[in-house]
Each structure stands twice: as structure tokens, then as C-alpha cells.
Amino acid sequence: MAARGGGAGTTAGTAAAGGPATSFQRKAAGGSRLSALPGTRPSARHGQLLLSSGLPSLDAVLGGGLAVGTLLLIEEDKYGVYSNLLFKYFLAEGVVCGHDLFVASAMEPPDNILKKLPAPLLDDTHRNELREEATPAKSEDFQDSMKIAWRYENLPKMEASPTTSTKFGHYYDISKTMSPELLQSVKWHSFYLPEELSLEPKLKTWNMNCGYASLLHSIQRVICQEGFDGSHPQKKQKNILRIGIQSMGSLLWGDDICSSDTPEDIHSLTKFLYVLRGLLRKSLSACIITVPSHLIQNKAIMERVTNLSDMVVGLESFIGSERETNPLYKDYHGLLHVHQIPRLNSLICDVSDTKDLAFRLKRKQFTIERLHLPPDLSDTVSRSSKQDLAESAKLLSSGCGAMAIGKKHLDF
């Protein structure tokens, strides 16, 4: 009753002051308390609570960040160089934001992974260093702005260099490692498959690979005991659990989907993802998984894995391929393919800014940018090089299909 009286007095005071007399008041719902969680913000599009992947340019591709309770699947590049970088970015962002971490791997001990996390740039001095590194590329783009293909001229540019006004997500220097003092400030849980299998008997549960079953039990135990599912309210302030699983589906996990077209445990990985998504949906957690999709011979399995994930991003590296020496891609190190975007509180997904994406690895940072083709209308380009570029353009994905292909070119 006291609260109602206060509301009526406020309305009367507003009317007396000449303002609009209305009894409508916005409720402070539970979402406002969730938005106060460290390192999170509500989405302006669908109202879902978001957290950063650790790479602002990837957050822009995913519609603002990773939604709490969702799963991001990263298809590894052939040598696992760039997928491991995204994996470390995700964990490093959790350390800076004070989130709890759960790191699982069958290849490398989790404590070694955490020791190699990139160092955060928390002050303006280091941010300016990265900005100076990106300045030469910007000046070259400005000088060649009249030569850029017309279809790219008015497209918005993705965020690649740090800005001091950014409050969501952080930037990291991959040439340095995170300080041990910062790592000790957060709580983290580890799962190293060789050690876990030596402690527990190798028994199949839920008709699933024993490694996957043991991992699910560990994740479920952490979620329940630490109160991330809400069943046991946390005595301390609510927090987010970041789950990182490395090279899922590889032989190191005891799965044979990468070595056989007709694997023995054909449904182990899909069952694991199905149960994992159920755990994520009812808890304050988010998960990132890397999968060596190029080694999975049965494509039907990869389709099921994609359908059981909320977001799927593929990395195609130029290392060891013809594109490494192709003049079309001289400024990039690989392509980024967005295979799936989640449908959150809507019937359709946001597919903006998900085509023609490439990535490059600089001295201190990893960035995702729009793929800009080199100018092909200049008089200085020889006829033979034009033919080479035209033939190379056939390798582009459908998103870049607007470029002229063949021997005929536009002349202005």
C-alpha cells in the first residue's frame, strides 16, 4: 500500500507540474538485475542478456555478442592456429570481467591454456599503440578510396581498431601473455581428459562416449554446486560461467568420427550437444566449442552438429592453399564463414553483416573485416594479370559473386 501511495503522489505531482498525467510506470523486472551482472548487457534487438566473445569484431558479426545460455561452435582451420586464438579470446574476456571459467581439453592441460591467454589492454596508453598499428592501413585505404569497387564504397566498416568509448568487450595484445595475478583473481575449473579417465572407470553413460559422459557430469556438477542454475541461490553476487571445450570430436576424445566414414559412436557427439544445450538453457552460462570439421568425413554428422548449435562460425585459413599466394587475398590470412545465427525471441535470425568476411592476424591483434577485392579497373593492370584475377575470382563464395567473372570487364 505504501508503494502505491508513493506512485499516486508522483503522478499527481507530475500533473501539477504541467506534465502528462498518467498512471503507467515501467516495472523494474528481473532482467534489470541480470543486466547488472559484470561483463554483460541486454540486447537492444531481442532483449536477451549478452556477453562478449573477447573480439569486438566477432561480437558485431554475431549480433552484439553471445547470448547467455547459448552455444557457439567454431569450425577449426586446418592447422588450428586461428581457432585457438578465438578460444583464448573468449576465456581472456571472462578473466577480465571476473566470470567463472570451465576449461576442458583432451590435448593440453587447461592450466597451460590459461597461462597463454593474451594480455588485456586496460589503459589508453596501450590502446593508442594498437590504434597506431592500424593507422597505416587506414591511410592506404584513404588513398585508394577512389579505386575501391563501387559495391564496397558505401558499405559500413566493421570495428577493427580500439576506441576508448567502448564499454562492452575488451581488446587484447596477443604478443604478450596475461599476468598471473590477474588469473588468480578469478575462479576456474578444469577438465583434462587423460587425468579424468585415470580417476574414473571407463563406463558408457546414456549410450555415449565415456569421455563425453564424464565431461557432462563435471559441467553439471559445477553448474549445480556453484548455483549457476538458480536451484541453490548463490551466497555471493550472481555471476556468469564461461565454458570452453577444445577440439571436440577429435580422436583425443576417443571419438572416431574423424577417422571413419561409418564411426562406431556415430551419435555420441550429437547426444552430448543435446544434453549440453539443456544445461546451458537453464543456467547463467555460455559455451564455446571448437570442432575439427575438416576431418569429419561423414557430412551428415556435421549437419546434425550444426543444427544442435546456436551459432556456427567457420574459419578457412589460407596456409598451404592456392589463396596464400593469390593477389586477391594478399591483405588477409583467411575467410570467416557464418553458417548459423541464433533465432532469439523471433522467427527469423539477424543475417546482417555476415557475408564477405575475412580475417587477418597482425602483430598484436586479430581482426575480422569485410573482404575488399583489389581494383580491377586501373590502367596500370596488365591484361594477363586481369585474366588471372578474373580466374581467381571464381574461387570466391556466393557472397562475392557480384564481381565480373571471365574475360569481359566493365569499362567506364
Model confidence at 412, pLDDT cuts 50, 70, 90, reads very low
Percent of the chain at pLDDT above 90? Answer: 46
Grid cell 590459461 in the structure block, residue: 114
DSSP 48: -
CA distances from 308 to 59, 82, 104, 330 (A): 21, 23, 19, 36
Average predicted confidence (pLDDT) for the chain: 78
Give the Cα separation of 81 and 83 in Å (integer): 6
Give the Cα separation of 149 and 374 in Å (integer): 8
Asked whether the predicted pLDDT for residue 64 surpasses 70, the reply is: yes
Q: Which residues of 153-174 are buried (b: 16+ CB within 10 A; e: fewer)?
A: eeeeebbbbbeeeeeebbbbbb
Beta carbons of 148 and 372 less than 8 angstroms apart: yes
What would the grid cell of residue 115 be?
Answer: 597461462
What is the identity of the amino acid at 338? V
- Where is pLDDT greater, at 340 or 203? 340
What would the grid cell of residue 408 be?
Answer: 569481359
- Where is pLDDT greater, at 86 or 391? 86
Tens digits of residue pLDDT in 312-326: 999 999 998 888 888
DSSP 192: E
Rounded average pLDDT over 162-177:
74
Q: Which residues contact 14 (CB under 8 A, 6 or more apart)?
A: 20, 21, 22
Query: What SS3 class is residue 21?
Result: coil
Asked whether the predicted pLDDT for residue 380 surpasses 80, the reply is: no
What would the grid cell of residue 348 be?
Answer: 527469423
Tens digits of residue pLDDT in 84-110: 999 999 999 999 999 999 999 999 999
What would the grid cell of residue 381 be?
Answer: 593492370
Grid cell 570439421 in the structure block, residue: 293
**What is the pTM (predicted TM-score) of this model?**
0.77
What is the identity of the amino acid at 129? E
